[in-house]
Homo-oligomer: A and B are copies of this chain.
């Protein structure tokens, strides 16, 4: 239907190889004919068929971005970073939301592999990626974001989680807090382990006893509701005077739920209880919210992910890459502390 390389070859009375060469700015092709070809191509509205090109070149200039949920405010920024870097490298990206569902994750990865993506960026629903058999058996260049997958040949772009919570803790302690709670996301998550480590480190350095009763974990989801529910439990479980004076949460969504629970019970923030989150999602900087938080450089993470992915693609398998690239989090002090 469309105009192909052959159509324009026929028009010009040259072989279609010549047209291909001209269009690809190949060195040995007469300047004159090159011009003729190009102008003819424009005239006829020729659009190269990237699919056909991909078939012969074994490269599609396409990468996959598989994330849990673009609706979760953490990811749009990441996606933006990925994309911004992708335009400059001339790649297009397939967006896939797994909805935190491992089967769907696998389904997507397979679909993308069949579509011959050149590389994959993903935030898996869990750090156990053994369900992604085809991916693991493949040579597909892959970069993980925000989860640490300690496998060879993969690199993970993460933030220095321990340093993040440690900064936040140091700040709280300097402000006079001694009884600080940690609301985590379960022990399996690498990021949670690290954040807890930072929490404990700071406590140790300041000679403050680590109290298990101050360390709790949310069960399934890391959303507002979980934070809300858990905080209510905490308030109920503690003798009023033994309540912590500050709480640091695994992420901002949890922190928002925590705050809501506190307000509903009549607590003043930060006077009665200081609250710190992690991530710095878009919600947190709203004037109405003003959540103190440990910011992840989300946009940058996406950008770096894409850039290292491209590098991996370009260099084949000879070069060794780091297993993780660690960025620095930043403590954003706002109104909840």
Contacts and interface: CB of A to CB of B under 8 A. Distances in A.
A83 B111 contact: no
A65 B115 contact: no
A69 B60 contact: no
Nearest to A64: B92
A216 interface: no
A54 B263 CA distance: 57
Nearest to A288: B288
Interface in A80-134: 80, 83-84, 87, 92-97, 104, 107, 110-116, 134
Contact of A286 (B55, B95, B112, B288): B288
A47 B134 contact: yes
A164 B129 CA distance: 46
Contact of A113 (B47, B55, B70): B47
Nearest to A99: B84
B51 A55 contact: yes
B71 A92 contact: no
Contacts of A69: 80
Contact of A114 (B47, B111, B113): B47
Interface residues of A, number: 50
A92 B92 contact: no
B116 A49 contact: yes
A49 B110 CA distance: 11
A47 B283 contact: no
Most buried by B among A45, A84, A113, A287: A287
Contacts of A71: 76-77, 80, 282
A186 interface: no
Interface in A269-297: 282-283, 286-289
A110 B51 contact: no
30 contacts: A47-B110, A47-B113, A47-B114, A47-B134, A48-B114, A49-B55, A49-B114, A50-B114, A50-B115, A51-B115, A51-B116, A65-B95, A69-B80, A70-B70, A70-B76, A70-B80, A71-B80, A71-B282, A75-B76, A79-B95, A83-B97, A92-B94, A92-B112, A92-B115, A93-B95, A94-B94, A263-B287, A283-B286, A288-B288, A289-B289
Interface of A: 45, 47-52, 54-55, 60, 62, 65, 69-71, 73, 75-77, 79-80, 83-84, 87, 92-97, 104, 107, 110-116, 134, 137, 256, 260, 263, 282-283, 286-289
